[in-house]
Structure 1
Amino acid sequence: MEFRHLGRSGLMVSEISYGNWITHGSQVEEDAARACVHAALDEGVTTFDTADVYAGTRAEEVLGRALEGVRRESLEIFTKVYWPTGTGPNDRGLSRKHIMESVNGSLRRLRTDYVDLYQAHRFDVETPLEETLRAFDDLVRQGKVLYVGVSEWTADQIARALKIADEMGFDRLVSNQPQYSMLWRVIEAEVVPLCEKEGLSQIVWSPIAQGVLTGKYLPGRPAPAGSRATDPTGSGFIGRMLDDELLRRVQELKPIAADLGLTMAQLAVAWVLRNPNVSSAIVGATRPEQVRDNVKASGVRLDDETMRRIDEVLGDVVERDPAKTVSPAKRP
């Protein structure tokens, strides 16, 4: 396993992070989840990403139990706040009230005294940005949070936050967590250039495009039983990629992976790690062998010719429009 700095901070993270978005607490049983976590640890993964909203807070609980007994100083545990975790009007968003209550809930579920990175899961248009950033800064001062970041924010939103932090003397953001893959490159136009200039890095989710880039989804064929496309908790994200022409192009990547001695998944993860602004690629798994396969992408460096071949195959099925974002216009 290789490691990279998170932004301009001194924190090192593993190139491959383990994430439990729709697996722990919902898609797989706890024994399988624990096996996946320990497979990641065995392979040198030290960075684990979750969120309070995943599986209705259960994902944090499962991860906390799975990591129990592991030396805390050897781990980087990331979680997030924003989405509803209750039915009340203050059980959501980035208000000071919700942030303070949510971090305490996350720490309790994760069985830890602090999280290494606390992330604003989306931008909250209904809360003053100064309020959110002051709450984050207070958590850093309290020692409950070591670093702060965001997830799926636009370049303009990140720039505004950095300006306020500089003016008010708050700890600066160190990272953004966007969707990024060969097929989804919307951060390249605006977010990455801003982050490179300002010292933030990307912790990317869905580098394998929800499994599409493994090649297991075939054009004109139904999705394999038990795959993410058949799971209602994750099918909404993958549905837009199940286009026959896109799937046909993905199949044409197989010879490129084979020439390099890589699996399709390893090629996809290595592709995002070639971007110098990416600190870590988040992978999920339902079986330990998936973890062991994906982590082999760490240390793989794709050359210019390989990148050219990939672009030639994918052509116009790649999404590059920075206006395309999963961020909501307002709180749910």
Structure 2
Amino acid sequence: MEHRYLGNSGLKISEITYGNWLTHGSQVEADVATACVRAALDAGITSYDTADTYANTAAETVLGEALKNERRESLEIFTKVYFPTGPKGPNDTGLSRKHISESINASLKRLQTDYVDLYQAHRFDYETPLEETMVAFADVVRAGKALYIGVSEWTADQLKQAAALAKELKIQLISNQPEYSMLQRAIEGEVVPASEQLGISQIVWSPVAQGVLTGKYKPGEQPPAGSRATDSKGGSDMIASWLSKDEVLARVQELRPIADEAGLTMAQLAIAWVLQNKNVAAAIVGASRPEQVTDNVQASGVELPATLLARIDEVLGDAVERDPGRTYEKSPKTRLT
């Protein structure tokens, strides 16, 4: 397992990071979730990403239980705050000082740890002054409850504003967590250039486009039984937009000879592709079976030649999403309750 520095910091994280968004506490039972975490540990994955909102806090609990007997200093644990949790009252969401202060304490309890390595703003909060949010994060860091600060799906301008405040407050804002894959490249035009200037890395989610880039979804065919597209607990909603585009699914099938030539599975090719971007510190992978973890980690350390990358671009063509405005759309303009 290769490790990379996260942003302009001394922190190294595993370039394949294990995430439990749509699995722990919802799709799979706790014993299977624990087996997946064990597989990640055995594969050399040291970084684990979760959020308080995943399965309405259950995902953090499952991850904390799975990691409780591991040497804490050998792990990098990330979690997030913003989306509604608990009974979803008026202050159970957003990036207010109240919600941040209460959420970090609850997350630490569920994760069974005294601190997280990275505490992330899950979205931008348009209803809370950014200064209030950043001061609250600074207090979390100074209290020793988080070592570094990150964000998720923030625009280039939002990153610049937050980085300026972080510098004033003398805390380290070192990461952004956006969606990024061969098919979803909205961050390349503005977010990545700004991040490179600010000393911020990307920890990307959905590098296999919700499973579309594995090639298992065929144009004109019903999704395979037991796949994410048939999951009624949230997975099918996330993948629906891709599955509605037969042209995209057809082009993905044309990537198979390229993967074969590289000696990779389709999933490994997709994960290796995002890791070719030097501003990407890690690709988050999830799993509903331990063998999926074992397969995905084979993408670590893979270098794809420029000729192969050019062929991927040629195959996918205008099926790729490149509009920078998609990042702005990711953050709700009013708080969700």
TM-score range with shorter-chain normalisation?
over 0.9
The 8 Å contact of residues 135 and 169 in structure 2, kept in 1 or not, is answered as no
Q: Which residue of 1 aligns with 2:270?
A: 268
1:311, CA displacement in angstroms? Answer: 0.3
> Where does 1:84-233 land on structure 2 (aligned, <5 Å)?
84-86=84-86, 87-166=88-167, 168-232=168-232, 233=234
- Tell me the SS of whatever aligns to 1:62: helix
The 8 Å contact of residues 134 and 170 in structure 1, kept in 2 or not, is answered as no
The 8 Å contact of residues 138 and 169 in structure 2, kept in 1 or not, is answered as no
1:169, CA displacement in angstroms? Answer: 2.6
Q: Which residue of 2 aligns with 1:281?
A: 283
Q: Which residue of 2 aligns with 1:12?
A: 12
- Tell me the SS of whatever aligns to 2:147: strand
The 8 Å contact of residues 78 and 116 in structure 1, kept in 2 or not, is answered as yes
Q: Which residue of 2 aligns with 1:330?
A: 334
Whole-Å Cα distance in 1 between the matches of residues 259 and 185 of structure 2?
20
1:165, CA displacement in angstroms? Answer: 2.4
1:312, CA displacement in angstroms? Answer: 0.5
The 8 Å contact of residues 107 and 114 in structure 1, kept in 2 or not, is answered as yes
Whole-Å Cα distance in 2 between the matches of residues 134 and 324 of structure 1?
28
Amino acid at match of 2:82: Y
Whole-Å Cα distance in 2 between the matches of residues 152 and 181 of structure 1?
14
1:229, CA displacement in angstroms? Answer: 1.1
The alignment status of 1:80 with 2:84, answered yes or no, reads no
1:235, CA displacement in angstroms? Answer: 1.8
Whole-Å Cα distance in 1 between the matches of residues 269 and 194 of structure 2?
27
Whole-Å Cα distance in 1 between the matches of residues 257 and 300 of structure 2?
20
Deviations 1:298-319 (Å, cap 9, x if unpaired)?
0001110010000010000000
Identity value in percent: 69
1:330, CA displacement in angstroms? Answer: 2.1
1:162, CA displacement in angstroms? Answer: 1.3
Alpha carbon RMSD of aligned pairs, Å? 0.8
1:328, CA displacement in angstroms? Answer: 1.8
Q: Which residue of 2 aligns with 1:67?
A: 67
The 8 Å contact of residues 125 and 331 in structure 2, kept in 1 or not, is answered as no
Amino acid at match of 1:218: K
Whole-Å Cα distance in 1 between the matches of residues 209 and 134 of structure 2?
31
Amino acid at match of 2:113: T
Whole-Å Cα distance in 2 between the matches of residues 170 and 72 of structure 1?
25
Whole-Å Cα distance in 1 between the matches of residues 268 and 107 of structure 2?
32
The 8 Å contact of residues 133 and 170 in structure 1, kept in 2 or not, is answered as no
Q: Which residue of 2 aligns with 1:2?
A: 2
- Give structure 1 regions of 4+ aligned residues with deviation exceeding 2 angstroms: none
1:191, CA displacement in angstroms? Answer: 0.2
Q: Which residue of 2 aligns with 1:300?
A: 302
Whole-Å Cα distance in 2 between the matches of residues 330 and 279 of structure 1?
30
- Tell me the SS of whatever aligns to 1:324: helix
Deviations 1:272-298 (Å, cap 9, x if unpaired)?
000000000000000010000000000
Deviations 1:94-134 (Å, cap 9, x if unpaired)?
00000010000000000000000000000001111011101
1:172, CA displacement in angstroms? Answer: 3.2
The 8 Å contact of residues 173 and 200 in structure 1, kept in 2 or not, is answered as yes
- Tell me the SS of whatever aligns to 1:174: strand
Q: Which residue of 2 aligns with 1:55?
A: 55
Deviates more, 1:157-166 or 1:180-189: 157-166
Unaligned runs of 5+ in 1: none
Amino acid at match of 1:127: T
Whole-Å Cα distance in 1 between the matches of residues 9 and 254 of structure 2?
39
The alignment status of 1:237 with 2:238, answered yes or no, reads yes
Amino acid at match of 1:267: L
The 8 Å contact of residues 76 and 115 in structure 1, kept in 2 or not, is answered as yes
Whole-Å Cα distance in 2 between the matches of residues 297 and 55 of structure 1?
28
Whole-Å Cα distance in 2 between the matches of residues 312 and 172 of structure 1?
39
Unaligned runs of 5+ in 2: none
TM-score, scaled relative to structure 2 = 0.97
Whole-Å Cα distance in 2 between the matches of residues 45 and 164 of structure 1?
32
Amino acid at match of 1:227: S
1:164, CA displacement in angstroms? Answer: 2.1
Deviations 1:312-331 (Å, cap 9, x if unpaired)?
10000000001113222221
Deviations 1:115-170 (Å, cap 9, x if unpaired)?
0000000000111101110111111111000000000111111111112223x333
- Tell me the SS of whatever aligns to 2:95: coil
Whole-Å Cα distance in 1 between the matches of residues 335 and 323 of structure 2?
23
Deviations 1:60-82 (Å, cap 9, x if unpaired)?
00000001110000000000000
> Where does 1:40-51 land on structure 2 (aligned, <5 Å)?
40-51=40-51
